[in-house]
Amino acid sequence: MAEEKKRTRRANGESAIYFGQDGRWHARVPMGYKDDGTPYRRHLTRPTRRELVEEVRRLEKQRDEGSARQPGKPWTVEKWLWHWVENIAKPVVSENTYDGYEVAVRVHLVPGVGKHRIDRLEPEHLESLYRRMQQSGSRAGTAHQVHRTIRTALGEAVRRGHAAKNAAALAKPPRIEEDETEVDPYSVEEVQRLLLEANKRRNSARWVLALALGLRQGETLGLRWSDVDLDNEYLKLRRNRLRPRYEHGCGKAAACGRKAGYCPARVQVRRETKNTKSRAGRRSVPLPGPLVAMLRLHAEAQAGERASAGDLWAESDYVFTKRLGGPLSPNTDYHEWKQLLVDARVRAARLHDARHTAATVLMLLGVPDRVIDQIMGWEPGTSARMRARYLHVPDAMLKDVARKIADALWGAPGTPSVDKNQDNEG
């Protein structure tokens, strides 16, 4: 026993296990280096050697896998989330993605679980947060967004050694029930009514691009004339219009007393567009002949507006602009869509639902799946799932299939039925 209790000399980098004067077993486990370059060792103590050896082996495994907590003061969830969203996520994600992260952190995660240490956060803490959110009126989809945000943030913490596990990867977010009001794409007759009404409005071609080709709002508002080839009847989609973001221009004290977006001296702090992030999103889309003619008329009308505005015109290459030039605001565009539905006496639907309509029309026309994928901008790996989500089979098509099944199994109307008794007699 005396020999066993002696401190054992170890090679550099190996753990040292020894029996202390306090009657307990101790270990010093090399874990790497601190920020200043000095070695960092974790001290462990257990009442028996066996317990200590088991704990040492567990810690060494975490160290070798890169999942062990690194030296320094442990991060709280609040401190880590703000560090992650501002210094790690913000420089590499899109503005819209950052906005979603920031809202989830500020509104839900920091007030809900911010006081916990990230290395002591448990799945149950998050599941409790999701329940409280729903009890307060948040939708299950909002809880899912919060769940995805903290799962991404904690995944980065684990990779950097600040936490040994990702509690969000183990937590169960609430179930999202299927929407009882499933998207019902517009019929051909409804689309025709919308197009007739759109022809009476400024920027009418903007709505035809949505209803006929399924272009996303950001793709349409970010379209520039340099992307449009009317002679060869196609356009290239390369960028998306971003929602504007403003800061006060009246001073830090916000002397105007208004929100930044309504400040008379407001300053735009977000770029107008961003490049399409996926290869599938950067695509060429064919233009039907009537739409080519409509875009030619639109170009002439825009030239007339430019001439009338004179020095007040904000020059840009955008296909769809405000009355004095410059890109359209997505918010203004959305309200224009709502008014178009009212004026055309067509049932209300989201602007994005026009995309479902266009995809369904392409299917009804017998366009091959691969061509539909390109027009819609769907990634090859997700195209089948996206078709299942966006292509809606109309009732008339289902009835036609039912008729064909009836004809095949029971015979066409007027066909004599088979007399089973005659078969038995034969």
- Phi and psi based region of residue 366 (left: phi greater than 0; alpha: psi -120 to 50; beta: remaining): left
Which CATH superfamily hosts domain 188-238+276-364?
A: Intergrase catalytic core (1.10.443.10)
* Cα dihedral 39, 57, 121, 97 sign: positive
Query: Per the confidence metrics, is the pTM higher than 0.75?
Result: no
pLDDT tier for residue 403 given thresholds of 50, 70 and 90:
low
Contact 325, 314 (CB under 8 A): yes
Is 320 exposed, middle or buried (CB count within 10 Å of its CB: 0-12, 13-18, 19+)?
buried
Strands 234-237 and 283-286: antiparallel
How many C-beta atoms surround the C-beta of residue 401 within 10 A?
11
pLDDT above 70 covers what percent of the chain?
Answer: 78
Which residues share a beta bridge with 349? none
The burial class, CB within 10 Å (0-12 / 13-18 / 19+), for 235 is buried
Q: Which of 271, 286, 275 is nearest to 219 (CA)?
A: 275
Q: What's the pLDDT tens digit per position in 283-320?
A: 888 888 888 999 999 999 999 999 999 999 999 899 99
Instruction: Give the model confidence (pLDDT) of 173-207 as tens digits.
Output: 988 765 444 566 777 788 888 889 998 999 999 99
Q: Give Cα 24 distance to the centre of its chain.
A: 53
Instruction: Provide mean pLDDT across the span 216-236.
Output: 90
> Could you give the percent of the chain with pLDDT greater than 90?
36
Assign domain 77-170 to a CATH class.
mainly alpha
Indicate if the pLDDT at residue 218 is higher than 60: yes
Residues 167, 146: Cα–Cα separation, whole Å = 13
409 pLDDT above the threshold of 60: no
Q: Supply 321's token pair.
A: 């602009």
Can 77-170 and 188-238+276-364 be said to share one CATH topology? no
How many angstroms separate the CA atoms of 237 and 282, rounded? Answer: 5
Q: Which long-range contacts (CB under 8 A, 24 or more apart) does 329-334 make?
A: 329/243, 329/244, 330/217, 330/218, 330/221, 330/241, 330/243, 331/243, 333/206, 333/217, 333/221, 334/217
The whole-angstrom separation of Cα 126 and Cα 85 is 18
> Other CB atoms closer than 10 Å to residue 420's CB: what's the count?
8
What's the confidence (pLDDT) of residue 121? 94
Domain ranges of the chain: 2-65, 77-170, 188-238+276-364
Local structure of residue 69 (DSSP, 8 states): P
CB 25, CB 52: distance < 8 Å:
yes
**CA gap 168, 179 in Å, rounded:** 25
